[in-house]
Amino acid sequence: MSEVERRELLLRYVHVNGRYRKLLSESFLDVDADWRMAFGSELMSDAREISDVELEELLADDWRAFLTACWLIGFMRRDRFRDVLHCRILVGDENKVAKGIFFALSRFGDPDDALVIKAYLERLLPDLEWRGYQPWALGALLAIDERLATNHAMEIIETDGPWDRWAMAGVIDSVDPNYWRDRVRRWDQFANMFDS
């Protein structure tokens, strides 16, 4: 792909109307219903239109492109990209793309996705100082557990377990695991509005 084509790709899918910023902040969930519907419709339209080759280009670019690619992948449940997302989480290079990865993995909702998210939490929760994306990971894991009727999160959320110790050691929006599951559910409910 030429540099001109790459710039056009980024403008078309990532920077259009500040999309990556809205995806990072989740601000689209808390706005006027008409605006939210328009945003979701455009996102789903792009998720249907973008090719796998173009998604691979976005995944190979910076965090803004990777984050946006995750949402496009998740909207259409393109699980052929599962290994790329698993790898990014497992090597600890998630940075600002983590919420996008957890969105996509929660949409796939496979037992392997749950195990990768659990491994992520087992690696990061013991570091009581690191305030990263652990809450969204837990929310995604709980959402998958709920959908599959599994208990992958059980050891993590047991009383005085890894989640309790981590959550009580610093400032987060809520220590209640269900709060984070419900936030991830909102992502899925939003995407489901545009399935047809």
Q: What pLDDT, on a 0 to 100 scale, did the predictor assign at position 30? A: 86
Q: What is the mean pLDDT of residues 51-61?
A: 97
Q: What is the b/e burial string over 4-31, where b = at least 16 CB atoms within 10 angstroms of the residue's CB?
A: eebeebbeebbeeeebbebbbeeebeee
All structural domains of the chain with their residue ranges: 3-192
DSSP string for residues in 16-62: GGGHHHHHHHTGGGGS-HHHHHHHHHHHHHHHHHS-HHHHHHHHTS-
Whole-model pTM above 0.75?
A: yes
Interval 90-115: pLDDT, tens: 887 777 899 999 999 999 999 999 99
Q: What proportion of the chain, given as a percentage, has pLDDT over 70?
A: 99
Interval 143-159: pLDDT, tens: 999 999 999 999 999 99
Average pLDDT, the chain: 94
